[in-house]
A and B are shown apart, each in its own frame.
Chain A
Amino acid sequence: MTIFKTLGLASSALALSAAIASADSTVRFWYHFDNADNPMDELVASFEAANPGITVEAENIPWNSYYDNLYTAVIGGNAPDAAMVKMFAQPRLIGMGALEPIGERIDAWEGKSDLQDNLLELTKAEDGQSYYLPVQYVVLYLYYRPDMFADLGLEVPKTCEDFRNVAKQLTRDTDGDGQTDIYGFGFRGGKGGHDHWGSFTLGGDGVNLVGGMENDNAIAGTQFVMDLFQEDKVFPPSAPNDGFQETIGGFKAGKTAMTIHHIGSANGMVEALGDNVDAAPVPSCGGGQWTAYGDESTAVLSSAEDKDAAWKWISFLSESGNNAKFNEATGQLPVTKSDSDGWTLHPKRFVDATVNSLPFAHLLPNTPETSDFVNTVWPVAMQRALTGEITAAEMNAEIAKLYGN
C-alpha cells in the first residue's frame, strides 16, 4: 500500500511538474524587420492570449548581422527557439544540425491547405524533409519614375539594351552646375546587391551560378554592369558600397530614376513619391529574364526547449489573419490563400509587377556555398570589379571557384 501511495505521489508530482513546465514555456524568437511599424508586440499579445502558459520573447535583430548572429548563437549554444530564415541559409543550418524537421507537424496542421500552392515544395530541403514554414514572399522588380520617363519621352526598358539607353538619358545635370543630380539607376554594390547583378547577368543563355559562370554570356552580363558604372556613369559614385538604405533612399529622394527592389518598399515609395513611382518586370538580358524570388520562412531550432510551443508560435504567424497582419508591416506578400484574396494593402501596380515577374523568378542555389556567395564572395568581387581592380571574367571565376569546390 505504501509503495502504491509513494508511486501515486511521485506520478502526481511528475504530472504537476510537467504542467508547471508547460505553463512556464518561453519561446525565444528572432526576426528582422526594417520597417519602423513593427506589429510583433501586437501579434505576441494575441498569441499569448490564445495560448496561456506560453510566453514569446521576440527579438528584432539588425539584418546586416542577422545570420552572423544566428550562426554564432547556434554554435555558442544560445540559439533562439524559433527564427525567421531564408532559403540560402538552410543547407548551412542543416549542416550545423540546428533545424528541427517539421514536416509531420505541417501535415497535421489545419493551416496547411490555406498555404499558397508550391510554397512548401520550394522551401523543402535537399534531403526531402521540411524544416521551413513559409511566412512571406516577394519577387524583385524594376522601380522607375514615370514623371522622369515622361519628361524625356522614354519607354520603360524591356531589354538590357533599352535599359542602358534610357539609363544614360536619365543621368542628368538638371541645374547646370556641372554636377550630375540624377543618376539613371541606383545599383546596390554592398551586401544584398547580388539580386541587382543577377537581373542583368543570370538571365543569359547558359548562365548559371552552379556550373555556368565562365561562359561568354555570363562574362558579358557582368561586363554590362561594370560598363554602366565605369563608362556610362549611370550609377551614383557611391554604388560600390551602397546597401538597401542608400539605394532606396536615393530613389525616394529623386537622386536615381530607377532601382530594383520588391513590394516590401512599395508603400514607403508611395508615401515619398505619390504617383511618381511605378514598377515593371526587370529587363530581359542576354536572351532571357531572371529575377530573385525573395523567400522568408520561420523554423523551429533543434535546440528549442519546448518545440511544441515554438511550433505553435511559428504556425500562428502563418495562419490566416495573423499572416496578413505580419505582412502589413513588412510590406511583403502573405503566404495564405485567404489573406491573398482581395489583398489591398499595396497599390495594384506593384502587385501586378510582382505577379508578372513570377514566371521567371528564381531562388539562389540551395547549397552551403550560397551563404558565402551572398555574404562575402559576391560583394567583394563586385566591388573590386566596379572599382576596376578585377575584370568581369575574374569576378565570374571567383564565383565559379566557390560553387565548383
Chain B
Amino acid sequence: MTGTRLGRSVLPYAMLSPAVIVTLAIVFLPMLQTAWMSLHDYVLFRPNDFTFVGLDNFIAALQDEVFWISLKHTVIWIGVTIPAQLLLGLVTALLLNQNFPWRPVARALIIIPWALPSVVIALMWVWIYDSNYGVMNDFMLRLGLIEQAVPWLADPKTALGAIILTLTWQGFPFFAVMILAGLQSIPRSYYEAASIDGASTWRQFWHITLPGISGVLVTSVLLRTIWVANSFDVIFVMTGGGPGYSTYTLPLYAFVKARTNLDFGYGSALAVLFTLLLMGVVMVYLRRTGKAVQ
C-alpha cells in the first residue's frame, strides 16, 4: 500500500523529468550562459581571453549610438507591424466569416504568406522593391504616384517601412486564422437577439464580436509581439541592416556583433538588455489586457 502511494507520488515527477531536463538543458542553460558571457570581455577570435568586466558591456551598450538607433527601430518595428497585422487580420477574418461561394478556397489561399519560409518571402519582396525591374515601381509609375523609380530598400527613409510592409503581409494570416476561430465560437443567437433588439452592425461588433474574441486577440498579440520582436531573418535577407544602420533592430545588432564581429560578450549584453526590455513590455501588456479581458 505504502509502495503504491509512493509510486503515485513519484510517478508524475518521473514522467515529467525528461521534459524538464531537456528544457533546462536547451533553454535555461544557454540563457544563463548568455547572461554570464555578457559580464565578460569575450571575443571569439581571442578564445583564451575571457576577462570578467562586470557591467561594462551594459554601460558600453547604453553609451552606444547604434544601440539607441536599433532600439528606436525595434519600437517602430513592433509598434507598426503588430497593429497593422492585427487590423488586416481582423478585417480578413470578418470577411472570411461571411457566407460566400468558394469560402474554403479563400481560407486556404489566405494562409499562403504565413506558410512560406521567411527567406523566400524576403527574396520575393526584394525583387518586388527592385528599383530597376521591380513591380512596385512599375505599378506606381504607371499610376502616376511617383515620377522616378524609388530605391525602396536603398533609401534610409523608406527601407524600414518597406520591410515592415513585407512582414505585415507575411504575418496577417496568423491573426486572420486565430480571430476566425474566435469568431466561430460566438453563438449566432447573440446576433439574432441583438438584431431583434434593433442593435446596429457596429453595436453588434462592439458589444458582441469584440468581447467574444478578446481572449484570442490578447493571446495572438502577445505571441506575435514576441515573435516579431525577435525575428530579424526577413531584415537580414532584405537589407542586412542597411543602408547604414537604417534597418538595424536590437536582435539584428546583437546577431551582427556576435556572429559577424565575433564579440560574444557585447552581443550577449545586447541580447540580455533586449530580453529584459521585452519582458517588461510583455508584463505591462499582460497586466493591462488581463484586467480588460476579465
Contact = CB atoms under 8 A, between A and B. Distances in A.
Interface stretch (A39-47, A111-119, A231-239): A231-239
Contact of B151 (A93, A95, A238): A238
A384 B245 contact: yes
Interface in A121-153: none
A302 interface: no
B151 A237 contact: yes
Given A95-B45, A96-B45, A372-B261, A237 B154 contact: yes
B215 interface: no
B142 to A, nearest CB: 12
A383 interface: yes
A250 B243 CA distance: 19
B130 interface: yes
B45 A240 contact: no
A188 to B, nearest CB: 12
Nearest to A97: B47
Interface stretch (A67-75, A216-224, A258-266, A303-311): A67-75
A242 B154 CA distance: 8
B148 interface: yes
B181 to A, nearest CB: 38
Interface string B255-287: 010011110000000000000000000000000
B88 interface: no
Most buried by B among A240, A250, A372, A381: A240
Interface in A332-381: 368, 371-372, 375-376, 379-381
Interface string A57-98: 000000000001001100100000000000000001101110
Given A68-B259, A240-B243, A92 B45 contact: yes
Closest 5 A/B residue pairs (Cβ): A384-B244, A237-B151, A383-B243, A240-B243, A241-B154
Contact of B45 (A68, A71, A380): A71
Contact-size category for B = 20 to 34
Contacts of B261: 372, 375-376
B132 A241 contact: no
Contacts of B161: none
A387 interface: yes
Given A71-B262, A241-B243, 7 more contacts: A71-B44, A75-B44, A95-B45, A236-B131, A241-B240, A380-B245, A381-B244
Contacts of A97: 47
Nearest to A240: B243
Interface string A237-271: 11111100000001001010000000000000000
B44 A189 contact: no
Of the candidates A75, A95, A253, the one having the most CB atoms from chain B within 10 angstroms of its own CB is A95
A386 interface: yes
Contacts of A237: 131, 149-151, 154-155
Nearest to B48: A97
Interface of A: 68, 71-72, 75, 92-93, 95-97, 178-179, 189-191, 236-242, 250, 253, 255, 368, 371-372, 375-376, 379-381, 383-384, 386-387, 389
17 contacts: A71-B262, A72-B259, A75-B47, A93-B45, A189-B154, A189-B243, A191-B240, A236-B131, A237-B155, A240-B242, A380-B241, A381-B244, A383-B243, A383-B244, A384-B244, A384-B245, A389-B244
Interface in B221-235: none
B239 interface: yes
A92 B130 CA distance: 36
Contacts, number: 90
A387 B242 CA distance: 10
Nearest to A183: B132
B156 interface: yes
Contact of B154 (A179, A240, A375, A379): A240
A71 to B, nearest CB: 6
A178 B144 CA distance: 13
A253 B133 CA distance: 11
A376 B242 CA distance: 10
A379 B132 contact: no
B242 A380 contact: yes
A93 B44 CA distance: 10
A75 B258 CA distance: 12
A96 B44 contact: yes
A381 B66 CA distance: 12
A158 to B, nearest CB: 29
A241 B47 contact: no
Contacts of A179: 141, 148-149
Nearest to B248: A380
Given A191-B240, A250-B132, A239 B154 contact: yes
A240 to B, nearest CB: 4
A236 B240 CA distance: 19
Contacts of A190: 240, 242
A379 B151 contact: no
B69 to A, nearest CB: 10
B46 interface: yes
B248 to A, nearest CB: 9
A376 B260 contact: yes
A257 to B, nearest CB: 14
A191 B260 CA distance: 12
Nearest to A385: B244
Nearest to A64: B240
A376 B256 contact: yes
B149 to A, nearest CB: 7
A379 B131 contact: no
B64 interface: no
